[in-house]
């Protein structure tokens, strides 16, 4: 049995902020629980108060804003994304990445926003969202603020979220609707293990190639933009190698990770990894 | 909390720190729900919550308030196994039996959303269910045949 804690399920964004304010560091946001409850069982985390955000109806929605951007609410699960026809048609890389997370049961609970907030260097949604130039919508005491997702990750399991703040949604730019984008990931056991490394790549309509690499640094990393009208493979691979510092661990050596990243970049440039 | 489990309504108080798995097993004696790893890896605790498979070890009981839960206990009716369970029996898809309730709930969910699954889709549906007797071949065959049976029933 888990240790004792209190559970709150506020019905509005303001109530969530108020609950966070009254409990400070003792409180933790609960969405899908597929990371948090494991940490609590393993005593890696011991929040005294859980604030369940699934009581706010808007957070479970996948919507299009007035400018045509895609909005993914904080309680939207990975399977919601995998099964959403609009996402499959227009942002298939998100469905591809979401489908690589955990097992089917896990994807029924795990949320896209939770995957980002857990801020694992291996976070599957991070790469896909980085190459779509997404932003993170953060609820604060003074209203909402929005930051580019590349500013969100600051360390292993560390985000730029401040006290009494939480992520309420992710905005994916309409500019990247129907953009060519793909995601490739290596893992030892599909459905269970974390990835050994992963690469996401997009070709925007503005003529840029964006590449993001996971499990090779303390955070998922976005490379500087490349020119898609004049692909210089040697330069892309050199830049990628300069920007990653993989470690040796049980999932693979640093040399193996570097090799995989180069193979994945080449495959993605050749149009592989673009379906789900 | 108020919850409907296998078509029966329950109204119970439960402390916040208990999982849905503990609630089902210890309060309601639904012992078909198994605890394996307790961390969402093995799938032995798989139940349907509002029609979707979840690892009940990673769901707090309070999160199941006002939901509809299905466990293996509700799958046979009047002492008779359902077609999927019969197919498991026929194909010897149960060895030690520990993983079976979870596998059957995953397969039930698959057949409810996809009546004609390809083998790859069957494998994906049960990727979150470990069988350590390693009878996956029999399990896959059992699900495939149940799908064929259910499909022909629908056509009738």
The per-residue pLDDT for range A106-136, each reduced to its tens digit, is: 999 999 999 999 999 999 999 999 999 999 9
Checking if the pLDDT of B130 tops 80, the result is yes
Which residues contact residue B49 at a Cβ distance below 8 angstroms, ignoring those fewer than 6 apart?
B20, B56, B59, B64, B67, B68, B69
Residue A61 falls in which region: left (phi positive, over 0), alpha (psi -120 to 50) or beta: beta
Eight-state DSSP code of residue B118: -
User: Nearest CA to CA, how far is B42 from chain A (Å)?
Assistant: 9
User: B8-38: string of b/e by CB count within 10 Å (b at 16+)?
Assistant: eeeeeebebbbbbbbbbbeebebebbbebeb
Checking if the pLDDT of B132 tops 80, the result is yes
Checking if the pLDDT of B137 tops 80, the result is yes
Taking the Cβ of residue A238 and every Cβ of chain B, the question of whether any pair is shorter than 8 Å is answered with: no
Chain A residues within 8 A of B106 when measuring between CB atoms: 104-105
Helices (H), strands (E): how many in chain B?
5, 5
pLDDT of residue B24: 98
Q: What percent of chain B has pLDDT over 90?
A: 94
Name the residue among B31, B30, B35 with its Cα closest to residue B3.
Answer: B30
Name the residue among A152, A39, A153 with its Cα closest to residue B39.
Answer: A39
pLDDT of residue A275: 55
User: Nearest CA to CA, how far is A15 from chain B (Å)?
Assistant: 18
Contact criterion met (CB < 8 Å) for A108 and B40: no
Averaged pLDDT for residues B46-71: 98
- Measured between CA atoms, the residue of chain A closest to residue B51 is A108
Taking each helix axis as running N to C, give the angle between helix B83-90 and helix B136-155, from 0 to 180 degrees, rounded to the nearest 10.
Answer: 140
As beta bridge partners, residue B27 has: none
Averaged pLDDT for residues B3-13: 97
User: Distance between CA A220 and CA A120 in Å, rounded?
Assistant: 8
Name the residue among A199, A69, A65 with its Cα closest to residue A122.
Answer: A199
Burial class of B86 by CB neighbour count within 10 A (0 to 12, 13 to 18, 19+):
middle
Q: Which residues does chain A have with pLDDT short of 70?
A: 191, 275-276
Contact criterion met (CB < 8 Å) for A105 and B46: yes
Chain B residues within 8 A of A5 when measuring between CB atoms: 16-17
Contact criterion met (CB < 8 Å) for B53 and A105: yes
pLDDT of residue B151: 80
Confidence of residue B150 (pLDDT cuts 50, 70, 90): confident
Identity of the residue in B15, B53, B127 whose CB atom sits nearest the CB atom of A191: B127
- If one counts every other C-beta atom within 10 angstroms of the C-beta of residue A66, the result is 5
Checking if the pLDDT of B10 tops 80, the result is yes
Q: Write the CA distances from A108 to A34, A40, A112, A115, integer angstroms.
A: 10, 20, 11, 13
pLDDT of residue A276: 44
Taking the Cβ of residue A250 and every Cβ of chain B, the question of whether any pair is shorter than 8 Å is answered with: no
Would the ipTM clear 0.85, i.e. be above it?
yes
User: Phi and psi for B45 in degrees, rounded to 5?
Assistant: -95, 15
Residue A42 falls in which region: left (phi positive, over 0), alpha (psi -120 to 50) or beta: alpha
């Amino acid at each position: 049995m888990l240790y004792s804690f209190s559970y709150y399920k506020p019905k509005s964004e303001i109530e969530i902020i108020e609950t966070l304010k009254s409990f400070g560091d003792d409180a933790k946001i609960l969405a899908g629980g597929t990371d948090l409850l494991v940490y609590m069982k393993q005593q890696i985390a011991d929040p005294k108060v859980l604030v369940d955000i699934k009581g706010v109806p808007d957070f479970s929605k996948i919507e299009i804003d007035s400018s045509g951007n895609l909005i993914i609410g904080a309680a939207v699960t990975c399977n919601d994304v995998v099964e959403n026809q609009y996402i499959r048609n227009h942002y298939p890389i998100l469905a591809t990445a979401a489908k690589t997370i955990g097992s089917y049961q896990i994807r029924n609970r795990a949320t896209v926003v939770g995957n980002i907030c857990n801020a694992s260097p291996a976070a599957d949604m991070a790469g896909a969202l980085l190459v779509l130039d997404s932003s993170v919508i953060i609820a604060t005491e003074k209203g909402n603020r929005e930051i580019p997702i590349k500013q969100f990750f600051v360390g292993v399991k560390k985000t730029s979220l401040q006290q009494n703040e939480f992520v309420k949604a992710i905005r994916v730019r309409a500019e990247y609707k129907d953009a060519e984008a793909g995601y490739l990931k290596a893992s030892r056991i599909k459905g269970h293990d974390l990835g050994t490394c992963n690469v996401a790549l997009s070709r925007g309509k503005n003529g840029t190639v964006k590449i993001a690499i996971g499990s090779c640094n303390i955070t998922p990393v976005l490379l500087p933009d490349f020119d898609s009208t004049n692909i210089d493979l040697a330069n892309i691979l050199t830049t990628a190698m300069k920007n990653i510092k993989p470690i040796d661990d049980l999932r693979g050596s640093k040399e193996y990770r570097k090799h995989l990243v180069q193979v994945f970049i080449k495959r993605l440039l050749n149009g592989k990894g673009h379906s789900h | 909390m108020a919850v409907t489990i296998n078509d029966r309504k329950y109204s119970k108080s439960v402390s916040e720190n208990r999982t849905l798995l503990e609630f089902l097993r210890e309060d309601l004696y639904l012992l078909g729900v198994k605890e394996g790893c307790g961390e969402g890896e093995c799938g032995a605790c798989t139940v349907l919550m509002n029609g979707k498979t979840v690892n009940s070890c990673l769901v707090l009981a309070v999160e199941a308030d006002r939901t509809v839960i299905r466990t293996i206990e509700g799958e046979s009716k009047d002492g008779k196994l359902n077609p999927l369970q019969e197919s498991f029996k026929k194909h010897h898809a149960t060895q030690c039996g520990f993983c079976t309730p979870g596998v059957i709930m995953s397969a039930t969910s698959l057949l409810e959303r996809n009546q004609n699954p390809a083998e790859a889709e069957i494998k994906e549906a049960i990727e979150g269910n470990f069988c350590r007797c390693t009878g996956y071949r029999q399990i896959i065959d059992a699900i495939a045949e149940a799908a064929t049976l259910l499909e022909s029933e629908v056509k009738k």
